[in-house]
Structure 1
Amino acid sequence: MGIKETIEIAAKNVGSQRKLAELLEMPEQTLSNLKNGRPHSYQLHAQIAAAGGMEEEARRILIEGIADQLDEKIPHEAEAKAGFLAMLKAFPKS
């Protein structure tokens, strides 16, 4: 799930984008900027999902984010990535 969809669902879950921004202690404009493509970390994406009551999705985002940073050309990183991707199968898809 992309950050735009995450923000929209999280905002709906908490009542509004303004309320979501308050829960995250950030300006509402920051959420608007993220929805419009502003670069962000996978940690922030997960934080937004968690604030919106999407705990399973937050965990999925974190695991995917870690896995994406690993280099498949380096054997120990490739093995770690395979392990993270296997863990993802334990979480239901949103």
Structure 2
Amino acid sequence: MDIAQTIDTAVKIVGSQRRLAELLQIPESNISGFKKGRPCSYQKHAEIAAAAGMEEEARHILIQGMADSLRDDLEHEAQAKAGLLAMLKAFPISSYENQN
């Protein structure tokens, strides 16, 4: 799920974009900015999911973010990345959009 999808799903769960911002203790304009393409760290992306109770999604976002930060040209990082991606593949996430 990309950040815009995560925000849309989180807003459906918590009731409004304003409420989501309150839960995160950030300005609502930050949420709008993320949806419009302002850079959002994978940690903040996961925090948005977790604030809406999407814990499984939050964990996957963190693991994917860690994998994406690793380099393919360094053997030890490439192996760690492969391991993280294998974990994600072995434990697919539920579809929150279909549940809510």
**TM-score (norm: length of structure 2):** 0.89
Uncovered stretches (5+) of structure 2, i.e. residues with no partner: 96-100
Matched, 1:30 2:30: yes
CA distance in 1 between counterparts of 2:54 and 2:37 reads: 21
Deviation of residue 92 (structure 1)? Answer: 2.3
Map residues 1-94 of structure 1 onto 2, 5 A cutoff: 1-93=1-93, 94=95
**TM-score (norm: length of structure 1):** 0.95
Q: Residue deviations 1:58-93, cap 9 Å, x none?
A: 011000000001111111001100110111123323
Letter in 2 for 1:69: S
Runs of 4+ in 1 over 4 A off after TM superposition: none
State the identity as a percent: 66
CA distance in 2 between counterparts of 1:92 and 1:75 reads: 26
How many residues align? The count is 94
